[in-house]
Amino acid sequence: MEDMTNQTILTPESSTGKGTGEEHPMTMEELEKEMSGEFHTIRNGAIVTGTVIRIDPNGIFVDVGYKTDGAIPAEECNDVDIKALKEGDKVRVFVKGMDDGNGQINLSVRRAREMDAWDQIQKSFKNKTPIEGKLVERIKGGYDVDISGVRVFLPQSQLSHGKNGKDSIGKAFMLMVTECDRRRKNVVVSERAVVEVERSKRREDIFASHKVGDLINGSVSRIVEYGAFVDLGGGVEGLIHRNDLSWSVIGNPREVVQPGQQVEAKILKIDVEKGKIGLGLKQKREDPWETVDQRYEVSRKYEGKVKNLMDFGAFVELEEGVEGLVHISDLSWARNIRHPSDVVKSGDKITVVVKEIDKSKKRISLSYKDTLAHPWEGIEGKYHVNDVVKGKVNNMTEFGAFIEIEEGVEGLLHVSDMDWVKKINHPKEVLEKGQEVNVKILSIDSKTRRLSLGLKQTSVDPWEVLDTTFKVGDVVNGVVKNLVSYGAFVQLANGLEGLLHISEFSWQNDVKDPSEKLKVGDQVSVVIYELDKGKQKIGLSLRRMEDDPWKGIERKYPVGSIQTGKVISLDSAGAEVEVITGVSGFIHVSQVAQERVQHPSEVLKPGDQVTFKVLELDRKNRRLKLSIKEATMDTEARELQKYQRESSTGFSDTIGDLMRDKLQALKEQLKS
């Protein structure tokens, strides 16, 4: 609503046409003067003060000094403060209409308050003075605030730090008007601005009356990760950084102070330009590290309290502000400590030995294990060489595993002492960290505090009983463990490995690579053909599982004999012929036919059954040298001999006889 101070008002005469009949302008000031009489001249839009004369269900009736009374409608009477009015009370009302239809003036308390509130808001905005408002509800981006019936906006960021928005709903605060547009009914307020003004005044007072080094009292207002804020009064806060709370190392400020706690702190820094005050609690007493060497000596024992556990060790407080580190290696004689919590807990009171003091770096090195008896003392009375003991795998390296047989006593199990037959490249092939194993003590050196342990020595060496386990000719089952260019290593049932040489794959020696026949993990049945306990060697064979097809080859296929076989393959050099399974021969291209050919395929093809003559037996390469040509010639020679034999006995029904007869007939014909 616009300010009505200079608004022109029409007199009753001008509005009703009485008097001169001309309009007579009247200002608000003139209107108020006229209303100072027994009966006031009242116009629409005026704000007047009246007296409550009657209250009934239809509303509240008010005497406004006019010839008729005014009425506040029933709907406004539901407001708590309006409902509380009683007869005789004074109330400011806004004239909404001169006649409500019943001959009474239509009044509004709400409108009067709203216009008064707008006047106050404008005045506050103009003079930059605070005004009171109540937070009504949370809305997007901030809060809806009521100032005497006028709703204004308080942005979220303008509610001062430390005030919880949820808890502030329904509460009244002093606010500063930062934006005001009455015509558009747009008002923005800030509670934070009021607080900042108060803080600024208080800060100026503190800066004027205090200096660095002074002690000042306050209340811990809030605690953050990096320290604690102290309310010094009037909303002015000083910060005690975490490092300035105590000479001790702390992880959380709450270890020293709590919200609401009253504290006396020393002013460490005053920054007038930034308006910041730095405070300290620990500075109220002397730094204990200044005289630490006067209270503690190297090699002496002291009582302390475990304050903090880290992966690398435990911090022990000897006194407030003086902490030393017990490195994880100094917590126990055992080497398998994974974390300090395996030995001590935070809050434990323990005895420690001072190892080193570095006053300049504020460091003290401590030891807990040096207060305990060394486990190697009297070790030779407890353990002896060849004893089999139970231990736990603490650590593993490429060359072996460290086995703890009791806390602080461990020995080395070398990879060479892990298995009788397997080559162990890394302990993890056999062991796991934390695993319990039985080992034999091989040697004890109490001076160097070293134990040598053996795992394989807890069982019988299978090579020692080789001759009682296997014999040549045994057929055994095994698993292919490894393939090499010259054969395959096969693991047998007792863990020993034998070599299946590539030459023992087939009687034909036709295997060029072991992977052609086997792969790692295959189950195979083989025959043992060699055992050498001294050289720890077992020879295995696949081909010896069957009889050698070349056995008695001279008797079966003597040189010069005529045999038959099947052509397997052809190439430019000749033809490969299978004589029987496991026995093959080769026919050179010059021997495939009586007539000369360029390639065997001119007269042969794979699968043909052929007759050949055995020319040579090559036992070394297990191959026969054959000839079809020689076989044919031998056959013709035998036929000729047969013919000759038959001719000498008088037979004439041979081909020769017929040819002779034919030739004789031809001669006779030529003669004629």
More confident of the two residues 73 and 388: 388
pLDDT of residue 662: 55
Report how far residue 538's alpha carbon sits from residue 531's, in angstroms, rounded to the nearest whole number.
5
CATH class of the domain whose range is 466-545: mainly beta
Burial of 230 (0-12, 13-18, 19+ CB in 10 A): buried
Residue 26 has pLDDT above 80, yes or no: no
Q: How confident is the model at residue 320 (pLDDT cuts 50, 70, 90)?
A: confident
**Contact indicator for 92, 48 with CB cutoff of 8 Å:** yes
- The residues, any chain, with a CB within 8 Å of residue 671's CB and separated by 6 or more, are none
pLDDT band at 670 (very low <50, low <70, confident <90, very high): very low
Candidates 516, 534, 359, 395; CA nearest to 463 is 534
For the segment 441-460, the average pLDDT, to the nearest whole number, is 88
Give 223's pLDDT tier (boundaries 50, 70, 90): very high
Q: Is the pLDDT assigned to residue 366 strictly greater than 90?
A: yes
Predicted confidence (pLDDT) per residue in 341-363, tens digit: 989 999 999 999 999 999 888 89
- As assigned by CATH, the class of the 549-672 domain is mainly beta
d(CA 291, CA 359): 9
CATH number of 9-114: 2.40.50.140
The token pair at 272 is 């007038």
Q: How is residue 269 written in tokens? A: 């820094």
Evaluated on CA atoms 69, 75, 76, 82, the torsion sign reads: positive
CATH topology (fold) of 379-458: OB fold (Dihydrolipoamide Acetyltransferase, E2P) (2.40.50)
261 or 656: whose pLDDT is higher?
261
How much of the chain exceeds pLDDT 70, in percent?
Answer: 87
pLDDT at 447 over 50: yes
- pLDDT score of 239 more than 90: yes
Is the domain defined by 210-284 classed in CATH 2.40.50.140? yes
Minimum mean pLDDT range among 102-116, 333-347, 394-408, 528-542: 102-116
Max mean pLDDT range (74-88, 152-166, 533-547): 533-547
Q: b or e along 252-276 (b: 16 or more beta carbons within 10 Å of the residue's beta carbon)?
A: ebeebbeeeeebebbbbebeeeeee
Average pLDDT (292-319) is 92
Contact between residue 264 and residue 217 where contact means Cβ atoms under 8 Å apart: yes
Residue 17: band (very low, low, confident or very high) from pLDDT cuts 50, 70, 90: very low
Q: Which residue has the higher pLDDT, 495 or 384?
A: 384
Query: What is the overall mean pLDDT for the chain?
Result: 82
* Structure confidence at residue 101 as a pLDDT band (50, 70, 90): low
Q: What is the value of pTM for the model shown? A: 0.38
Q: CB count, 10 Å around CB of 178?
A: 16
pLDDT higher for 4 or 443?
443
Contacts of 36 (CB under 8 A, 6+ apart): none
Q: What local confidence, expressed as pLDDT, does residue 668 receive?
A: 55
- Establish whether domains 210-284 and 288-371 are of one fold: yes
Owner of token pair 């005014």: 70
Average pLDDT over residues 550-576: 86
pLDDT greater than 50 at residue 288: yes
- CA–CA separation, 117 and 558 (whole Å): 136
pLDDT tens, position by position, 27-69 = 555 544 444 444 456 777 788 888 888 888 777 888 888 777 8
- The single-letter DSSP state of residue 69 is -
Of 518, 471, 465, 515, residue with least CA distance to 495? 465
What is the CATH T-level fold of the domain 288-371, as seen in this structure? OB fold (Dihydrolipoamide Acetyltransferase, E2P) (2.40.50)
CATH topology (fold) of 128-195: OB fold (Dihydrolipoamide Acetyltransferase, E2P) (2.40.50)
What are the domain boundaries of the chain? 9-114, 128-195, 210-284, 288-371, 379-458, 466-545, 549-672
Residue 548 has pLDDT above 60, yes or no: yes
- What confidence tens digit (pLDDT) does each residue in 110-141 have? 788 888 888 889 898 999 889 999 898 988 98
